[in-house]
Amino acid sequence: MIVEKYTKALMSSLNDDEIVEIYEAIAKIALVANNPKFILIVKSPLLSLDEKLKFLIDLAQNDDKKLVNFLKILLINKRIDLIREIHQNLYEKVSEYLNTYAGIVEGKVGESVLKELEKKLSEKFNAKIKLQLKESDLNGVRVFVDVLNVEVGLDENKIKRDLVNQILKAI
């Protein structure tokens, strides 16, 4: 609930040109926020607010005024430890706003199959879907698009079993 409020406030303050830029800056901070030393630094009583803010701006590689104000508010309200959750919520909102979603394809598929999956999913959801291949020893293909809550899987062994069952029923 708190994360939603911060994300909504940030999104409402941004114009179309700033949305992706600010999202990418927050993504850089969220990536580092997984490190336990990050929390020690941003919560340290030995560092001033300005030093912490400078640290975050350096991580983000962005000194946009709106981003700086947002980070300052998080630091003042002692909510900077929510940055990963804010990033995830912001990712969902930005994806929805831009009607562009990212997904993962697990298995062994070629580039042409990947492009065809992107095309079909984009048509199905009336959105731009960008898939990334994650090779695995899976005997089939699995597709995930988290924000849209889509998971599709084809298992080669299951297809063979179903085909054999259909043939046996026909006999």
**Domains of the chain: which residue ranges?**
2-95, 101-170
Q: Do residues 32 and 55 touch, judged by C-beta distance below 8 A? A: no
Judge whether residue 134 has pLDDT over 80: yes
Q: Do residues 74 and 80 touch, judged by C-beta distance below 8 A? A: yes
48-57, 63-72, 110-119, 133-142: the lowest-pLDDT one: 133-142
pLDDT of residue 1: 83
Distances (CA, A) of 54 to 101, 141, 168: 32, 45, 70
Q: What percent of the chain has pLDDT over 70?
A: 94
19-23, 95-99, 167-171: the lowest-pLDDT one: 167-171
| Backbone conformation region of residue 107, classed left if phi is above 0, alpha if psi is from -120 to 50, else beta | left
Looking at per-residue confidence, does 73 or 113 come out higher?
Answer: 73
pLDDT of residue 141: 77
Question: Was domain 2-95 assigned CATH 3.40.50.150?
Answer: no
pLDDT of residue 157: 66
Average pLDDT of the chain is 86
pLDDT of residue 30: 93
